[in-house]
């Protein structure tokens, strides 16, 4: 199945209705009270952008068994099936949102929103530099989309469209985890003192929020950072690897610092920027719970990845394409929290997206459903 077949509606209207303007043709095609979804961030949201950049197999997932359950082909999502942003689009009654870098992508499709997320991306340009679309570049691409929309719809309509849309982010995890997964564990070191590092990440996230706000964006949803030292990829590097050790691991400590500080920054932005609304989902708590109590959610295996090798499936050997040729693959990914060493299964992504959509947020006034309804 092609992602783009879902856009048939707009193509047909454009082809038969030469006299219709872009706006009219789309307006007649859209569900009532339609709101677009713009997606920023990392592999938890990337739906295929990294297929189209010069990167490494470490940051690609366009080979089997990725994609084996839902799409039945490796679409470039780090999952056996869908990623979190796919489910959010579904809850919002939108079709799958196209990846910005897909070569077949044209401006006709902006109307449902666009996905800019890139696996491995961080908020800092140094993070996996040269192998990802960093957050700043994602924001630049959004600026291009916004410009195009203003040309097509006119200033007024474009502003209205962008202010009704929802902008979701999953970012920060790679900034803190990359120094560990890219290095020999015993020599890994973070590039800045802890608090300064987190301040830089949050500073860069804030500047992208302001860029989007200045283009007309008003409604923002954030997934906070999951407990990094507890994911199989880092867990095998953690000395001791007990739960306590994982929670004390430095990447986890940095994740908690960001998770503590970002909501405060968002509160400030809410006062500073008129009309700014946000939601924060506690992905950290959600993952801890999933890993420790998988059976509460109908899952069987919390800490070991479905797909990988060595301890916890943490060696990231997926598909035998990353230097390690043998790997194990579980027979039923639906029973697992992690598909590969760092990424949720379709089932886990469904669970997390449901919390984003419907959950009672502890860290903000809104969940995503409420933001879409505004």
Ligand X SMILES: *[C@@H]1O[C@H](CO)[C@@H](O)[C@H](O)[C@H]1NC(C)=O
The catalytic residue positions are 43, 340, 343
Helix or strand or coil: residue 257?
A: helix
Using CB under 6 A as the binding rule, whether residue 331 contacts ligand X is answered as: no
* Closer residue to ligand X in complex, CB, 54/326: 54
Nearest residue to the partner ligand X, using Cβ: 203
Tell me the window of 165-173, 201-209, 220-228, 315-323 that interacts with ligand X (CB under 6 A): 201-209
Q: For residue 328, list its beta bridge partners.
A: 308
* Binding-residue pattern over the window 124 to 163 for ligand X, x denoting contact by CB under 6 A: xxx---x---------------------------------
Among positions 15, 19, 33, 184, the unique one binding ligand X when judged by CB under 6 A: 184
* Closer residue to ligand X in complex, CB, 63/200: 200
* Closer residue to ligand X in complex, CB, 125/243: 125
Nearest distance, CB of residue 208 and ligand X, angstroms:
10
Tell me the window of 88-96, 166-174, 180-188, 234-242 that interacts with ligand X (CB under 6 A): 180-188
Q: Are the beta carbons of 327 and 336 closer than 8 angstroms?
A: no
Tell me the window of 69-77, 198-206, 306-314, 363-371 that interacts with ligand X (CB under 6 A): 198-206
CA distance 233 to 285: 19
CA distance 273 to 132: 30
Tell me the window of 68-76, 107-115, 119-127, 317-325 that interacts with ligand X (CB under 6 A): 119-127
* Closer residue to ligand X in complex, CB, 15/187: 187
Q: Are the beta carbons of 75 and 1 closer than 8 angstroms?
A: no
Q: How many positions of this chain bind ligand X (CB under 6 A)?
A: 12
Separation of CA 98 from chain center: 13
Q: How many CB atoms lie within 10 A of CB 95?
A: 17
* Closer residue to ligand X in complex, CB, 52/141: 52
Among positions 203, 240, 311, 320, the unique one binding ligand X when judged by CB under 6 A: 203
Using CB under 6 A as the binding rule, whether residue 19 contacts ligand X is answered as: no
Using CB under 6 A as the binding rule, whether residue 204 contacts ligand X is answered as: yes
Nearest distance, CB of residue 302 and ligand X, angstroms:
29
Pairing state of beta strands 219-223 and 166-170? parallel
Using CB under 6 A as the binding rule, whether residue 187 contacts ligand X is answered as: yes
Using CB under 6 A as the binding rule, whether residue 186 contacts ligand X is answered as: yes
Q: Are the beta carbons of 256 and 284 closer than 8 angstroms?
A: yes
Using CB under 6 A as the binding rule, whether residue 182 contacts ligand X is answered as: no
- Cα dihedral angle (91, 94, 98, 104), rounded to 10 degrees? 160
Tell me the window of 91-99, 123-131, 213-221, 356-364 that interacts with ligand X (CB under 6 A): 123-131
Report the interface residues with ligand X, using CB under 6 A: 54, 124-126, 130, 184, 186-187, 200, 203-204, 207
């Amino acid at each position: 199945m092609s992602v783009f077949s879902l856009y048939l509606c707009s193509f047909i209207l454009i082809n038969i209705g030469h006299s219709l303007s872009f706006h009219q043709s789309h307006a007649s095609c859209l569900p009532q009270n339609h709101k677009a979804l713009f997606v920023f961030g990392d592999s938890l949201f990337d739906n295929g952008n990294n297929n189209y950049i010069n990167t490494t197999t470490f940051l690609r997932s366009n080979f089997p068994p990725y994609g084996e359950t839902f799409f039945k082909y490796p679409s470039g999502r780090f999952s056996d099936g869908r990623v979190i942003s796919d489910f959010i689009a579904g809850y919002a009654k939108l079709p799958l949102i196209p990846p910005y870098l897909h070569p077949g992508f044209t401006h006709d499709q902006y109307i449902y929103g666009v996905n800019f997320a890139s696996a491995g991306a961080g908020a800092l340009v140094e993070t996996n530099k040269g192998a990802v679309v960093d957050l700043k570049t994602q924001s630049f691409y959004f600026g291009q989309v916004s410009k195009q929309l203003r040309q097509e719809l006119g200033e007024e309509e474009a502003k209205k469209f962008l202010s009704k849309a929802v902008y979701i982010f999953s970012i920060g995890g790679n900034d803190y985890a990359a120094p560990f997964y890219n290095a020999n564990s015993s020599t890994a070191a973070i590039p800045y003192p802890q608090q300064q590092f987190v301040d830089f990440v949050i500073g860069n996230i804030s500047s992208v929020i302001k860029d989007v706000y200045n283009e007309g964006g008003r409604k923002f949803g954030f997934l906070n950072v999951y407990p990094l030292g507890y994911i199989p990829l880092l867990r095998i590097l953690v000395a001791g690897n007990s739960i306590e050790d994982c929670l004390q691991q430095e990447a986890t400590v940095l994740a908690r610092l960001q998770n503590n500080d970002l909501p405060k920054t968002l509160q400030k932005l809410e006062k500073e920027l008129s009309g700014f609304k946000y939601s924060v989902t506690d992905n950290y708590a959600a993952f801890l719970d999933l890993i420790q109590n998988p059976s509460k959610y109908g899952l069987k295996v919390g800490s070991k990845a479905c797909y990988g090798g060595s301890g916890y499936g943490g060696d990231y050997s997926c598909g035998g394409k990353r230097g390690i040729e043998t790997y194990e693959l579980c027979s039923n990914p639906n029973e697992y929290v992690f598909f590969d060493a760092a990424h949720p299964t379709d089932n886990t992504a469904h669970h997390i997206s449901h919390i984003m959509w419907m959950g009672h947020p502890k860290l903000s006034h809104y969940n995503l459903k409420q933001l879409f309804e505004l």
